[in-house]
Amino acid sequence: MPKALLQKKSESSEEERHQVVASQIESRGVRDALVLEAMRHVPRELFVPRELAEKAYDDTPLPIGCGQTISQPYIVGFMIEALRLRGGERVLEIGTGSGYAAAVLAHIAGEVYTIELVGELAARARDNLQRARARSVHVRHGDGAQGWPEHAPFDAILVSEGVPNITAALLHELKIGGCLVAPIGDNPRSQELVRITRVAEEEFEREDIADVRFVPLIGKDGWESPEDDWRVKPPRVVRARPAVSVSVPSMIAKEGEIFTHLHDADLNPLIERIGDARVVLIGEASHGTSEFYRMRARITQRLIEDKKFKFVAVEADWPDAARIDHYVRHRDVPPSDWTAFARFPTWMWRNAETKSFVDWLHKNNETRAFETRAAFYGLDLYSLYNSVRVVLEYLDSVDPELAVIARERYGCLSPWEADPAAYGRAALTGEYRKCEKDVSRVLVDVLRNQQDYVMQDGERYFDAAQNARLIANAERYYRTMYYGSRASWNLRDSHMFETLNQLLIHHGDHSKAVIWAHNSHIGDASATEMSQRGEYNIGQLCRRAFGEACFSIGFGTNDGTVAAASNWDAPMQVMNVRPAHAQSYERLFHLSNAPGLMLSLKENGALREKLMRPLLERAIGVIYRPDSELASHYFEATLPRQFDEYIWIDRTSAVKPIKGIELEGMPETYPFGL
């Protein structure tokens, strides 16, 4: 090939690497400058089969032969960043593969030792590394589970393949202060990416970093043999399955209650199936789909009117939802000096669909006695500092002496108001003292004085007490999130469930509740891959607590548009939703050709039996990444065990955020005011 053409090709490859690092890696949160620079430098196309060179920078794993894959660029960057390298270290890698990760490590570290069990891959990796001019990389063909003791100790160890556990021998090859990063789990289909740090001769600390899924490590202490269904699968994506029977979509169409437009849907059969349920959980497959919000509102209106449901509790912060509650129940509360639903993602509740329901509830309550008015609450715990303000304002008015003490105790959290997550990081690393005892003592004091406070205003006391509970749980949450996704998820949903129970107690033995939250919260987690990771949710907790008195409704769609962001704190966009994956429940419902339908999942029969086969299910939150949809937005579930009812709307549209001009002339107490 002419020298000029080679140079042009090299420049094109370098430009593509820079684009990939910016769009796939840095934009998703990998921030380590050494890692980013290394990934800009290493030519990934040299580490994939020649026929796949054009796909080298795609956001997907690629086959490299022998049943193995090269992980997508983001996963490589994410894992190497977790090693916390600073340059010049001695690093061990288990699972060389094509040698790409070793080449990236070599650009940062001083010496890289890498072990590959498959001899053919080890030989190819040596050639690839030589072509890439990677220095100080030593490749060995052998069983990596026992490490490389001749060159120990290591500053860092990277295990690039899924393992059921880490051997003591490998851990003892770490230097004191060194860390190991690996995907670990008893189930080869679901692991947790963990970091284990050796803090003393026989003392190790473990942190859970993320939920992942990797090609399994084969060897003495790995899994016995590779499975075909593991090959060429990105982390956290469940395995593909043969297509289900073509008869299933026609069975769905036959048994489902079909509707063309939302306002035409006959809700009477659904309301009858809900029966005497005390808690009805209504989901959504995204946080930005108009039809989900509107159908959820229709069902809730019927439950309030026909079955005397007492309150709606939603996946929103307690103080923000309290602003709505004051408005819909016509409570005489002075306007607040802060804006409700002002934090990201603002469109999740500041939208025309929510406004329409709130206005309806305000009008519906207008002629009712206060004790019979339907209320509106928030279940979430992200409002740490707004809740602090509410508690202090309340104590200022009812108990000024305790307010002084509470202000001093909550002051522990003050330095972190701009970034509560930074408090958790600082508290865990020992850079800052924990505020756990301080915030817990305020809660204890508020609860101890309940009898005196309730005599003055029971509703205000309940609001303040719940905010104090939220502060205590939020403080734990921001510390726990650094232990890993499982622990923080469980704490958050436990808080939601605890809040629901407090509300039911507050409203009396015969009170009934409607819950609005994402499918991933209200569908029974034990019927999904979440349970394999030790996660549970409010849906599972409600089923366990209320049994047949709990009824859950899931939603799904095939395509359309959704309001979402590409990254946290990024601007909202109206994005196109990709058609459902071929191996998903959504695909089955789409093939029914129904524009919309409601399907009971409690009825035993042939269709329920067919749907009991686990499939993929899509979950879009406030962030949507269509380019990596399979890896980012699908999980494995068993639909009839997850929900009691499933509502399908084939094509959907984005929610409509409220514009300032729409609020002109509204009273100061209007909850969506600026």
Q: Are 621 and 562 in contact (CB under 8 A)?
A: no
- Whether 426 shows a pLDDT value over 90: the answer reads no
Q: 478 falls in which pLDDT band (50, 70, 90)?
A: confident
Residue 234 has pLDDT above 50, yes or no: no
Q: What is the pLDDT of residue 411?
A: 84
Q: Please give, one letter per residue, the 3-state secondary structure of 269-304.
A: HHHHHHCCCCEEEECCCCCCEHHHHHHHHHHHHHHH
pLDDT, position 311? 98
pLDDT band at 386 (very low <50, low <70, confident <90, very high): confident
Q: Is the pLDDT score of 84 beyond 80?
A: yes
pLDDT at 99 over 90: yes
Domain assignment present for residue 430? The answer is: no
Q: Please give the share of the chain, as a percent, with pLDDT higher than 90.
A: 56
What is the model's pLDDT at position 515?
Answer: 99
Say whether pLDDT at 96 is over 60: yes
Predicted local distance difference test score (pLDDT) of residue 231: 32
Whether residue 250 is predicted with pLDDT greater than 90 in this model: the reply is: no
What is the average pLDDT across 249-254? 92
Triad 636, 638, 639: Cα angle to 5°: 115
476 sits in which H/E element: helix 458-480
Residue 316 lies in a domain: no
Across 453-474, average pLDDT = 84
Q: In the predicted model, what is the mean pLDDT of residues 602-615?
A: 91
What mean pLDDT comes out for the span 613-617? 94
CA–CA dist 180, 160 (Å, integer): 11
Q: Which amino acid is it at 116?
A: E
Q: Which residues pair with 91 in a beta bridge?
A: 112, 156
Whether 85 is in a domain gets the answer: yes
pLDDT computed for residue 667 by the predictor: 56
Least-confidence region, from 52-61, 171-180, 181-190, 314-323: 181-190
Question: What percent of the chain is modeled with pLDDT above 70?
Answer: 86
Say what the pLDDT of residue 155 is: 97
pLDDT-based confidence at 506, cuts 50/70/90?
very high
DSSP E strand boundaries for 547-660: 550-556, 559-564, 573-577, 596-600, 615-618, 634-637, 645-649, 651-652
Specify whether the CB–CB gap between 73 and 44 falls below 8 A. Answer: yes
Instruction: Write out pLDDT tens, residues 271-320.
Output: 999 999 999 999 999 999 999 999 999 999 999 999 999 999 999 999 99
Instruction: Please state, as a whole number, how many other Cβ atoms lie within 10 Å of the Cβ of residue 205.
Output: 11
pLDDT at 10 > cutoff 90: no
pTM of the model: 0.66
Q: Is residue 163 part of a domain?
A: yes
Helix (H) / strand (E) containing 158: strand 154-159
Q: Cis before residue 153, ω within 30 degrees of 0?
A: yes
Partnered with residue 657 across adjacent β-strands are 351
User: Does residue 674 surpass a pLDDT of 50?
Assistant: no
Q: Residue 620 pLDDT > 70, yes or no?
A: yes
pLDDT at 666 over 70: no
Exposure string for 594-614, b = 16+ CB within 10 A, e = fewer: bebbbbbbeeeeebbebbeeb
The residues facing 575 across adjacent strands are 562
pLDDT of residue 3: 46
Q: Is the peptide bond before 640 cis (omega within 30 degrees of 0)?
A: no
Ranking 54-63, 222-231, 245-254, 356-365 by mean pLDDT, the lowest is 222-231
Give the CA distances from residue 528 to residues 355, 362, 635, in Å, rounded to whole numbers and listed in that order. 33, 38, 8
Q: Is residue 296 within 8 Å of residue 649, measured between CB atoms?
A: no
405, part of any domain: no
The pair phi, psi for residue 279, each rounded to 5°, is: -125, 120
pLDDT of residue 209: 76
Mean per-residue pLDDT, 615-638: 93
Q: Which of 4-13, 213-222, 308-317, 441-450 is the most confident on average?
A: 308-317
Query: By the 8 A CB rule, do 633 and 618 touch?
Result: yes
Long-range CB contacts for residues 390-396, cutoff 8 Å, separation at least 24: 390/319, 390/322, 390/463, 390/464, 390/467, 391/442, 391/446, 391/464, 391/467, 391/468, 391/471, 394/460, 394/461, 394/463, 394/464, 394/467, 395/446, 395/464
**Residue 164, domain member (yes or no):** yes
pLDDT of 112 higher than 90? yes
Residue type, 572: M
How many other β-carbons are positioned within 10 Å of the β-carbon of residue 168? 10
Distance of CA 608 to the CA centre of its chain: 28
- What domain range includes position 112? 3-230
Mean pLDDT of the 231-248 span: 42
Tell me the pLDDT tens digit for each residue of 201-230: 888 887 777 766 554 444 444 434 334 333
Q: What CATH number does residue 42 fall under?
A: 3.40.50.150
Count of CA atoms in the C-beta half-sphere (13 A) of 549: 11
Residue 8 pLDDT > 50: no
293, 322 in Cβ contact below 8 A? no
Q: Please count the other Cβ atoms lying within 10 Å of the Cβ belonging to residue 627.
A: 15
Does residue 631 or residue 422 have the better pLDDT?
631
pLDDT of residue 663: 55
Q: Residues with catalytic annotation?
A: 71
Q: Is 596 helix (H, G, I), strand (E, B) or coil?
A: strand
Rounded Cα distance between 436 and 155, Å, is 34
How is residue 209 annotated by DSSP?
Answer: E
Q: Is the pLDDT of residue 407 over 60?
A: yes
Q: Is the pLDDT of residue 198 over 80?
A: yes
- Non-local (6+) Cβ contacts of 543 within 8 A are 524, 550, 552
599: Cα within 13 Å, side-chain hemisphere: 31
Q: Is residue 279 part of a domain?
A: no
Q: What is the predicted pLDDT for the residue at 324?
A: 94
8 A C-beta contact, residue 395 and residue 453? no
Residue 438's pLDDT is what? 83
pLDDT of residue 555: 99
Q: Could you give the C-alpha distances from 345 to 153, 410, 566, 570, 576, in angstroms and in order?
A: 46, 26, 12, 9, 18
Q: What is the mean pLDDT of residues 649-668?
A: 76
DSSP 8-state code for residue 638: -
User: Binning pLDDT at 50, 70 and 90, where does residue 454 land?
Assistant: confident
State the total domains in the chain.
1
Pairing assessment for the beta strands 90-94 and 573-577 based on DSSP bridges: unpaired
Residues 6+ apart with CB under 8 A from 606: 251
From edge to edge, which strands make up the β-sheet containing 90-94?
A: 137-141, 111-116, 90-94, 154-159, 174-187, 190-200, 203-212
Chain-centre distance of CA 502, in angstroms? Answer: 25
Q: Is residue 555 part of a domain?
A: no
Q: Which pLDDT value is given to residue 615? A: 93
> What is the Cα–Cα distance from 574 to 384, expressed in whole angstroms?
30
Tokens of 522: 């209200």
What does the pLDDT look like over 115-167, one tens digit per residue? 999 999 999 999 999 999 999 999 999 998 889 999 999 999 999 887 888 88
